[in-house]
A = this chain, B = another copy of it.
């Protein structure tokens, strides 16, 4: 099993805004994909779409306000199904530190390399959204390759 790991620091006085950006449809659609639906409460399913390529359905398996969010991928590309997305938040001075893991990939396939870079880019979109009010969600996301 192999994992994608990332860390960013968001300039904001407390983790609340980052937490909201991970648990509400309005927040998620402002930095990851504009086509986001569903519910961010435990047991809910969040539906992220990236037309025309497809998307992901995530079951929310854990939320601790302002501290942690965990999703399990229940539909999407074969390599993603059963993997987990784990967000940990903590405040360090002027920064909310975001520790991210997309865990449980069975093999380090080329698509995993792509998703790693793409997640990093989206985390910078999350940081920008919380700090400035403006992110770069799909379809206005940063193109990193032929795979978008």
Contacts and interface: CB of A to CB of B under 8 A. Distances in A.
Interface bracket on A: 20 to 34
How many copies are assembled?
Answer: 2
Given A121-B120, A123-B117, A145 B112 contact: no
Which of A100, A142, A145 neighbours the largest number of chain B CB atoms within 10 Å of its CB? A145
A142 B8 CA distance: 11
Interface string A1-32: 01111111100000000000000000000000
Given A7-B116, A7-B145, 15 more contacts: A2-B3, A2-B5, A4-B5, A6-B117, A6-B120, A7-B110, A7-B114, A7-B117, A9-B147, A92-B146, A93-B146, A100-B113, A101-B113, A116-B120, A127-B144
